[in-house]
Structures are given as C-alpha cells and as structure tokens.
Amino acid sequence: MIQSATSNNPLYAHGTPPRFEEVTPEHASEAVPVLLEQAAADFSAFEESVESTWEGIFERLRELTEPLGYAWHITGHLMGVRNSDELRAVHEELQPKVIEFFTSMGQSTATYAALEELMKGDSWTALDSTRQRLVEKELLGMKLSGISLKGAEKERFNEIQKELAELSTGFSNAVLDSRKSYEMILTDLADVEGFPETLRQTAAAAAKENGHDDATPEAGPWRISLDGPVAGPFLMHCKSSALREEVYRALVTVASTGEHDNKPRIDRILTLRREKAQLLGYSSHAEISLATKMAEDVDSVDALTAELRAAAMPKAKEDHAELVKFAREQTGDADLELANWDAGFWAERMREKQYDISDEELRPYFPFPKVLEGLFSITKRLFDVDVVAADGEVQVWHPDVRYFRIKDAKGEDIASFYLDPFSRPADKRGGAWMDNLIGRAPLSDDSLRLPTAVLVCNQTPPAGERPSLMTHREVETLFHEFGHGLQHMLTTVDVPQAAGIESVEWDAVELPSQFMENWTYHEETVMGFAGHFETGESLPKDLFDRLVAAKNYRSGSGVLRQLYFGHLDMELHHRYDPSSDETVAEVKERVVSFSTVVPPLAEDHFECSFSHIFAGGYSAGYYSYKWAEVLSADAFSAFEEAGLDDEAAIEEMGRKFRDTVLAQGGSRHPMEIFQDFRGRGPSTDALKRHTGLV
C-alpha cells in the first residue's frame, strides 16, 4: 500500500467503524489523494489482466475501490452533518479528481469487453440470476458513463461530469449559507402571543446560542430562523400577517439572490445535463434517468401523474374554498383574500376547530425517547429483530448522535446504525436521509461484514431540561428514515453489489420507508408509545381518534403539491430546452397553471433550494415518491386485509414483508419482489383511499 501502515489518519482505517470524532479536513486532504493514487494504480493493473469471470471483474473492482470509497464517503457525510469552511475547501479541491477517476472506470474498454465476454456461453449460464442482473445493470451503467464515446466527445463528457459535481456541491452550500444568513429577532411579547410553548423555547434557545445570553422562553428575545422546526410552526402560529409575510418571503427566496443565488447554477446544470444526454444518444436527461428506474418511460410517469392529479385537483380546490370561507367567518371580513403566507396560519386554525387538535397538543405525548421505544417495538413485532442501544461503543460526529445494534431472534448481531435526530442549522443541511455507510459483504474468513446505516433527521431539538417533543410529522419522518434503514440492514443478500438498497431501482427505494409511515396512524402502535413527557399519562383515546380523523385534512392540497414538484422536475429535464428562448421561470409558470390551485408569488424561487433535483439523486426522479407511495400503500393494504387486530396475521405478514421487500434488496427486479409479497401487481386504489381522494 502507498500509505504508511502506521499512519494515525482515521480515513485509512477501511473496514472499521469510522473514528468520526478524530476526522479533520486535513485528514481528508492527506488520505484521499493517496488512496486515489493507489486505486488508480490498482485499476491499471486490473485492466492489464482482467479475467472475464464474476470474481475477476466485480470482486476485484470492489476490493480496489473500497478503501477510497470509505474515505470519500466519510468526507461527504461530514459535509452534510458537520459542515465547515475548511471542509468545504478540501472537498471542493478533491471532488474533481475523485469524479475523474470514477468516470474513467466507467469508461474502461477493458472492463466493458470483459463484461461482454462474461455474457457468452457457459460463463453466463453458470451465473445465478442476481449476478446476471448486475452484469446487465453494469453494462447499462457503463453506457451511461460514456463508454462508447471517443476523442473530443469523451473529453467533453468527462468535463461535464466534473462540472456537474461541482455545481451540485455549490448548490447545496448556497442553500445552507442562505438559510443560515437569515434571522428575525423578536423582543415584543405581543409578537409571540399565540406561540406554542415549544416554539418559544426553541426560539429562545436559538437566540441564546446566537449572542443573546439573557434570552428566556418567557421574556425573550426569540430568534426566528428558516430552520424547519422553527419556520414551519412560526407560519402556523404567528398572529402577525406582516411578520409571517417576512418569513414566508425569506423562505421562498432562499438561495435566489445575491452571493448565494442558485439561478445561474440551475441554468448551467440543466444545460449540461441536456448536453450530456445528447452525447449519449438520448433526447433528454429524463430518458437517462428512467433508463435505470422501475418506470418504463416518461409516458408511464405522466400517466401516473395525470391519474393522481385528476383525483387531487378537485379536492385541492375544495380545500382552498373551505379555507377562505373559514378565514372570512373568523375575521368577519367577507371580502378577505388569503395571501400565500396566510394559508398555513388559517389552515392550522381550521384544523384545530374541525378536529379540536393541534401539533402542540400532541407534542407532549411524543417525547423522542418514547417514540424511539415505540419504533423499535413495532420493528420487533413485524420483523422479529431487537434494537439495542450501544452508545459509546463507537465514535460519533456530534454528542446528539446515538448508536444502536440490531439483533436477530437468536440474539446475534446482524446490523447497526447511527441516528442523528436533531436540527443544527449552523452546520447540518436540512431534510432527512438514510445513508448506507457500510454494506453487507462476505469476508475472506467466511464470516460476514455486517451492514451499518446512518439515519439523519432534523426534528425539534431538546430545550433546557425538556426532551425533544415531536410533532406527528416528525414522528412520521423518523419512521420513514428507519424504513430505509431496515431495507439496508435486514438484507440477506450476500452479493455486496445487490445487498440492501444497492441496485434497487430508484423509484422503488421509497417503498419500505413510506410503508413504515402507516404505523404512525395504527392505534395499537401509537398508543403503545405515546405518553406525556411529564406525567407519563397515555395519549387520550379521543385525541388519537382526532389525529386519525385529521389524517387526510387538506389531503388534496398535499398530494397536488407533491405532483407539482414532480411535474416541474420532469418538465425541466425532459421537455425544456435550455438553448431555446423559454426560461426556467416560464416553464414554472406553465407548470403552475396546470398543477396548482393557488399560484406562488412572482418572486417565489423555491427551485433555488430544490436540492432533491439539483444537488441530490432525484433529478427527473422526484415522481419516485408518488410511484413508490403506490407500492407502499398497496403493501400496507395487505396488512389491512389480513386484519390489523389479528396479531398472528400481522406477524405472518410482517415476516413475509421482511423476507421479500426488505431481504432481497437489489437482487431481483422490484416488480417481481412486490408481486411475490402481494400476489399481484400494484394498484393505485389503496393510495387514493389512504389519502382520502376517493
């Protein structure tokens, strides 16, 4: 090896739990170039002597790339959860070189020739179906990596790949910096009248952390940021329309002006993606995206979108009309027209009145430790595994991070995961995600390397002596991310390239996560963990009933909003030509007229913070949420049909779900796995029923 065997750099410790507390930007600056040089040398040797066998191609490639992948993966992870100027600078310097190496691997004629040779004769028939599937996917992946390009076209393709990676990182950093740069300091008690106690505590704690040493929840000052756990409740509970307007306008213009403006990056990203598609012989980036997904083509996505839009649009119009009527009745203003920043406030008031329920009434019954217990309990019930706290056994990147092990029915370890639950707007990007830190793989001594997942949320943090008191939506998010983690951790596939979420088509990967959300409305599950954080009193039955009754409150608006995001994504990546006279803003106007009831403000540039499609993996794939929701709703309906009150039936169905969807990962096509579980192909009926659209 090139690096010193005695080096203390934690990024060289491939195959061991990462030493997160020790990793510095300097470690990445030292280790990644060394590991890159080693991987490049090993790959050159591989190309000179590649054998057309599974072991000769796939196993050798995995072995030579994993040390570099380990170091670069940890560096990227820390960019999301422990961001700093120093780390950004190192990442920005190294990323083009890493991209260049992996792009060159995807364009290796020696590898491609070996794969084609492997598909011939006895070598091919000797492979099992999982490995055959992976060979076919690898060949397609190499085609999409520009294997067929020569000369100037290949050079241009590689330039595009590097520039797109840089633009993606720049986009994400701009969103983080733009959100971080905004604050509203409230000092007048009248301005926080009606604030829930949780919001006052969170806002006062934020003020204290930002220089207002005397801040208290009772007397202020209170710091309002664009962080989800603050901005969302603020827009629902602030009585001042003027203050709501300021925060709302700041939210919808994140990263759209000044030094953080992402509009030029969006233009450039769309231009480069289209150019890349044309170099590869496709007419649009969407066609490239769908080449590796479950949906057959853009027409299939459009058909699903149209079907759900037809069901959601009338409901969304009803939702808005009811909200306007309610606001007029409450204010006595018969001519009142709701501004965009008023909708959240009045929707929360109407929900409180119709269902006599609010997030703040529920929060005390959803303390984070109890919710975790409930999540692990339903996991045990469904899948017969135990989740055991193992804090202190490994290093973590922040004191809030927890570590757990998963044990099977025999008490043996089968997986582990880190959980980073709370919002930290100063250095942690928003949203929630699961990352497959370490994948399941057989080792040379016939033992198994066990999978490790990272689960990241951005829920309301603890305040003072109080634990994190979660909204129901935050409970759903936690269950959602754990569903992703379960597919990674409960895999039984021993081919690393297909274990867990590896090689699962992108539009099927949300199935387990969205499936788990259903249990947050299941009475036995919720009543098992919902207890008042101070008194221990169980969630009152009538309050749970009201929660369920309110489940589909304004569901038409919610579904339509998701379809709007997916529609815009597909328009930009399939029908929009960046070289034409049409602009991104005009494309958005066209989509708005078709997919919204209440149009956004003229200055609304939410796309400038739409990290899913411009800095994540969802470009021409945002529809995947609804596509997978069809699958997850239909899967949960199997439990409904078996009988949610029938313990034996639930356990049997849970084991079946584990043995198919969770266990088989990317070893087979997701439609085959779904049909094995459900006994038929998917139907949209359950989704429409679950969301109140029928």
Reported residue count of the chain is: 694
Please say whether the beta carbons of 674 and 635 come within 8 A.
yes
Give the type of residue at 347: A
Predicted pLDDT at 192: 97
Give the closest residue to 142 by CA, choosing from 185, 109, 173. Answer: 109
Angle at 682 between CA 432 and CA 647, to 5 degrees: 75
Give the type of residue at 654: G
CA-CA distance, 247 to 232, in Å (whole number)? Answer: 10
Predicted pLDDT at 368: 97
Predicted pLDDT at 618: 93
Angle at 19 between CA 15 and CA 22, to 5 degrees: 145
CA-CA distance, 425 to 210, in Å (whole number)? Answer: 12
Predicted pLDDT at 198: 87
Dihedral of alpha carbons 603, 176, 239, 219, sign: negative
Q: What angle, 0 to 180 degrees and rounded to 10, lies between the N-to-C axes of helices 647-657 and 368-383?
A: 80
The domain ranges of the chain are 10-148, 182-253, 363-536
In 3-state terms the chain splits into helix, strand, coil percentages (rounded to 5) of: 60, 5, 30
Predicted pLDDT at 37: 97
Locus of tokens 């804090």? 391
Predicted pLDDT at 359: 87
Beta pairing, strands 402-407 & 386-389: antiparallel
Give the start-end residues of each E strand in 412-464.
413-422, 433-438, 441-442, 448-449, 452-459
CA-CA distance, 451 to 417, in Å (whole number)? Answer: 8
Predicted pLDDT at 358: 87
CA-CA distance, 590 to 13, in Å (whole number)? Answer: 52
Domains 10-148 and 363-536 share a fold: no
What does pTM read for this prediction? 0.87
CATH of 10-148, one of 3.40.50.720, 4.10.520.10, 1.20.1050.40, 3.30.2020.30: 1.20.1050.40
Tell me the average confidence (pLDDT) per consecutive run of 10 residues in the chain, 694 residues long: 64 94 97 97 97 96 96 97 96 95 94 95 92 97 95 96 95 95 97 93 93 95 94 96 98 97 98 98 97 95 96 96 98 96 96 91 96 98 98 97 97 98 92 94 92 96 91 96 98 97 94 97 96 96 94 95 97 96 95 94 96 94 94 97 95 98 97 96 94 89
How would you list the strands of the sheet with 433-438, edge to edge? Answer: 386-389, 402-407, 413-422, 452-459, 433-438
CA-CA distance, 605 to 332, in Å (whole number)? Answer: 33
Class of domain 363-536: mainly alpha
In 82-150, alpha helices (H)? 85-106, 109-118, 121-125, 129-144
Predicted pLDDT at 347: 96
Predicted pLDDT at 5: 44
Among 66, 481, 505, 510, the one annotated catalytic? 481
Predicted pLDDT at 234: 97
Residue 481 is among the residues annotated as catalytic for this protein: yes
Predicted pLDDT at 43: 98
Tokens read off for 582: 């049409």
Q: Helix, strand or coil for residue 480?
A: helix
Type and span of the H or E element at 460? none
